[in-house]
Amino acid sequence: MYTLGIETSCDETSCAVLKDYKVLSNVTLSSLREHAKYGGIVPEIATRAHLKNIDKVFLEALKKAKVSLKNINLIAATYKPGLMGSLVVGVNFAKALALALNKPFLGINHLHAHIFAPFLNQREKIEFPLLGFVVSGGHTEIYQISDFDKIKLLGQTDDDACGEVFDKVAKAYGLGYPGGPAIDKLFEEKYKDAFKFKCGRKGFNLSFSGIKTALVYKKLELLKKSRLTRLTKIELVSSFQYSVVETLIQAILAAQKQYKIKNVACGGGVVANSYLRRRLKASESKNLRFLIPQIEYTADNAAIVAGLGFYLYNKKGLKSEIALEAEAS
């Protein structure tokens, strides 16, 4: 069975073709360079980029997969959450295709698709229950997953998302945008305790706005003393990344302890962070295992949307009807 996936929730325009769970193509064009000069995502720029690029990535995805459009059995597209204008482009494109081809259409929650990322290419057998761990530029959430249509939110950020804080701290220290890769590149574990920073956590809910403010004020303090050298900057961002990652780890360990669920499916752009990936693996035990996706499936992309779409289509036994909301209860 061939599934066409479409993702346009933010700045990536992405189309993918899957044969069951095997990724045949996953083509993504990002408008990130256009947003970088503003230090963050500009919704109207993102929408215009999707309108410009959706045809290109769609045709390229079919070409790379070596699959004819007439062979597509299912079309799945992100319908939430995301930027409204960006979502409209992808959903309308997908619905038009489904109508023209008389194929079923599924609207997918792309946060749930992030949790599905480790199961692409049948790398992992799906065994329920799961804990879901999504860490991205716009979201930081922990889920209890009885099945992919039975997902319960356990905890989330009370303010800034984890990836958003990386971007804001990087901007404050002149490291450019996006901030996550820049900080990860500077990170040196030997400096993790050079400065003492703390993130907020209450149960499974997290708070990152405080550590962001602390980094901004620490910069101003050091500038007054003319002590903001390159080494000091490395020490600061290393201490910052260490504190954020340890807070994430402690939150998921607390959830695992309470719910006694062994497998944790991870997803989202921040899961590409090299230190976080190392810490997740180092935290494993006989009662805890982290399912970590390949780097290429961590950011927003259409392969994870198509993968979850294929799973839900088969679980729900849909035939030819259009299902606009195949999202978890």
In the predicted model, what is the mean pLDDT of residues 173-189?
94
Question: Residue 74 has which token pair?
Answer: 């299912």
For the whole model, what pTM was predicted?
Answer: 0.92
What pLDDT shows up at residue 88?
96
Average pLDDT over residues 98-123: 94
Residue 323's pLDDT is: 44
Question: Which letter, b or e, does each residue of 64-77 get, where b requires 16 or more Cβ atoms within 10 Å of its Cβ?
Answer: ebebeeeebebbbb
Mean pLDDT on 74-92: 96
**DSSP secondary structure letter of residue 193:** T
> What would the mean pLDDT of 213-235 be, rounded to a whole number?
93
Which strands sit side by side in the sheet containing 74-80, from one edge to the other? 22-30, 12-19, 2-7, 74-80, 105-109
Among residues 52, 49, 54, 58, which one has the least CA distance to residue 25? 58
Is the distance from CB of 317 to CB of 28 less than 8 angstroms?
no
What radius of gyration, in Å, describes the C-alpha atoms of the chain?
Answer: 20
Q: How do residues 18-60 score in pLDDT, each as one tens digit?
A: 999 999 999 999 876 777 777 777 888 889 999 999 999 999 9
What is the C-alpha to C-alpha distance for residues 276 and 122, in angstroms, rounded to an integer? 23
- The mean pLDDT of the chain is 92
Mean pLDDT throughout 317-326? 43
pLDDT, tens digit (0-9, with 9 covering 90-100), for 133-157: 999 999 999 999 999 999 999 999 9
- Characterize 153-170 residue by residue with b for buried, 16 or more Cβ atoms within 10 angstroms of its Cβ, and e for exposed: ebbebeebbbbbbbbbbb
Q: Please, what are the domains in the chain?
A: 2-122+297-316 (3.30.420.40), 130-293 (3.30.420.40)
Distances (CA, A) of 88 to 12, 13, 36, 47, 212: 14, 12, 23, 9, 32
Residue 322's pLDDT is: 39
Average pLDDT over residues 92-117: 96
Work out whether strand 12-19 and strand 2-7 pair parallel, antiparallel, or are unpaired.
Answer: antiparallel
- Over the range 269-305, which residues count as b (16 or more CB within 10 Å of their CB) and which as e? bbbbbebbbebbeebeeeebbbbbbeeebbbbbbbbb
**Per-residue model confidence as pLDDT tens digits over 276-318:** 999 999 999 999 999 999 999 999 999 999 999 999 999 876 4
Q: Is the pLDDT of residue 227 over 90?
A: no
Pair 112, 246: CB distance under 8 Å? no
